[in-house]
């Protein structure tokens, strides 16, 4: 982790600083909603494939940096290709990955020497974009404005929090031994040709103390 933090500080000087834009989540009463069918409209609109251009903000303690990323995702097969460059056009890395592994086609030499960047980026892409619908046998908890679906897995517990009408995934949390390891917040979606794209996402890694914010600039 120490090497990874050094890597981030290096990128700060390459990419400069940025602020996270403020967004809001709109809640609506769900008193008459059947939680067993509530997520159906959302899950049917998840695209099998996505190709998007994202602006990226990485924030660690008091420092932040911005970058521009082109990401191709096969949601169904859980594969991805991502390339990233700084605002001044310096190519930082290009990666290919799936649900189990990540391969680096290119990583800027200075980054390659300062930590396991492919692993870190690959894990965050999986957390944001993959496995965004709960299983049918999830434990369900309902309050007036949210419905929470909880899945127990071998390594930990994942909670999917839905809200709004129609339903939208607004948060995904992962726990180990009762401790929140990371959370992803989905603040807005774009509806394009009947499919939903998460337009604004914020990932908080509580274990390592950093935040990653992505914003869709273009859907291809």
CATH label of the domain that carries residue 123: 2.50.20.10
How many domains in the chain? Answer: 1
> How confident is the chain (220 residues) per 10-residue block, as mean pLDDT?
49 43 72 94 96 88 81 96 88 90 84 64 91 92 96 92 95 96 94 94 90 92
**Angstrom distances, CA of residue 40 to CA of 16, 36, 44, 169:** 42, 8, 6, 11
Structural domain boundaries enclosing 25: 2-219
Q: Which two tokens stand for residue 92?
A: 């930082």
- Whether 183 and 174 have beta carbons less than 8 Å apart is answered as yes
Q: How many CA atoms are closer than 13 Å to the CA of 59, on its beta-carbon side?
A: 15
φ and ψ of 182, to 5 deg: -155, 160
Q: Quickly tell me which residue has 């990932």 as its tokens.
A: 203
| Per-residue pLDDT at 3 | 53
φ and ψ of 6, to 5 deg: -60, -40
3-state secondary structure at position 141:
strand
Bridge partners of 49? 74
Region of 61 (left: φ > 0; alpha: ψ -120 to 50; beta: rest) is left
| Per-residue pLDDT at 24 | 59
């Amino acid at each position: 982790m120490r090497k990874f933090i050094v890597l981030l500080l290096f990128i700060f000087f390459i990419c400069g600083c940025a602020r996270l834009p403020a967004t809001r989540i709109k809640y609506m009463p769900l008193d008459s909603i059947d939680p067993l069918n509530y997520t159906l409209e959302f899950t049917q609109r998840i695209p099998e494939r996505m190709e998007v251009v994202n602006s990226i903000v990485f924030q660690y303690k008091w420092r932040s940096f911005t970058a521009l990323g082109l990401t191709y995702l096969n949601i169904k097969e859980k594969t991805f290709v991502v390339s990233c460059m700084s605002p001044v056009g310096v190519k930082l890395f290009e990666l290919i990955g799936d649900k189990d592994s990540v391969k680096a086609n290119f990583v800027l030499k200075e980054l390659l020497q300062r930590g396991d960047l492919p692993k870190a980026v690959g894990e965050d892409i999986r957390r944001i974009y993959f496995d965004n619908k709960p299983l049918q046998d999830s434990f369900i908890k309902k309050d007036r404005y949210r419905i929470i679906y909880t899945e127990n897995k071998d390594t930990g517990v994942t909670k999917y929090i839905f809200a709004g009408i129609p339903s939208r995934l607004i948060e995904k949390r992962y726990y180990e031994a009762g401790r929140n390891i990371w959370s992803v917040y989905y603040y807005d979606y774009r509806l394009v040709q009947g499919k939903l794209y998460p337009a604004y996402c914020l990932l908080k890694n509580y274990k390592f103390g950093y935040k990653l914010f992505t914003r869709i600039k273009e859907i291809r």
